Chain A
Amino acid sequence: MDIVIMIVLMATAFCAWRGLSRRVVMTLWVLGLVAMLGLFKYHVTSPLHLNF
């Protein structure tokens, strides 16, 4: 999954650099963000027992 995310990020940066359409860049960026948040949810499995 990490490899997929990095490839999406690389593609997003490349499209932004090449000046591709705003829709393409935004779609790839949102895809990367959602994938990152999904992976974060996957890794965060337990609540932390902290009292403030």
Chain B
Amino acid sequence: MTTTTDIDATVAIESSDLSITWSRIAFWGIVLFVVGYCGVLLAAMGVQIFGNEKPCPLCMLQRYAMILATIPAMWIVADALRAKLTRARYASALGMSIVAATCGAFESTRQILLHIASPTDRGYGSAVIGLHLYTWALITFIVVILFCGVALMCSVSVIPVAPGPGALRTMARAVEIGFLVVIAINVVLIVLLEGLSWVLPDDPTRYKLINDLGFGLH
């Protein structure tokens, strides 16, 4: 015969299982956030290197905002993997991502409006699936703000929990390192692009460092 205590215990176990499932979903959601922005940054670098389209200062500013929004997400993943993630730190990191994404949204909106303001302007760079990169950037910033908002709403009951030792944990670690590599590539590219100048030119057409060093290549 099932007693009230048994039912309470079963409900508690099911509730605990459900909570762990949501914590895992939250963890992989944050990992997906990092992977997503790594993909966006790699795509932008691909257009720069293989499409030979040098990023303008506003494009670079949007990349910085993307990196600033992703660093707190990577921090969450790193802390979860170390089992040191607290609710307060999780909420704080999500807030940081929202702030960075909002700043990035301002930057991309400014660039969109800059090209709308001039009737003869065809936009900067080539379009990808009908939209310019800065328009895609605005969409990603809005998605990040919404995602972090929902994660904050749920943070009262759900905080990310990393998987135990195994392939999934290794995958999460690889994502962290992948993000660091993406930033490192960006450092190299910006050094090549900016050269010995203090800021980027409005419409960069060459890797300035190569010119500054006297090689004169484009």
Q: Which residues of A contact B (CB under 8 A)?
A: 1-3, 5-7, 9-10, 12-14, 16-17, 19, 22, 25-26, 29, 32-33, 36-37, 39-40, 42-44, 48-50
Contacts and interface: CB of A to CB of B under 8 A. Distances in A.
B67 to A, nearest CB: 5
A36 B199 contact: no
B183 A40 contact: no
B213 interface: no
Contact of B180 (A5, A17, A29, A32): A17
Nearest to B57: A43
A43 to B, nearest CB: 5
Contacts of A22: 89
Nearest to B113: A48
22 contacts: A1-B198, A2-B60, A2-B190, A3-B190, A9-B68, A9-B71, A10-B184, A13-B74, A13-B180, A13-B183, A17-B74, A19-B82, A19-B84, A29-B68, A32-B64, A33-B100, A39-B57, A40-B106, A43-B58, A43-B199, A48-B117, A50-B116
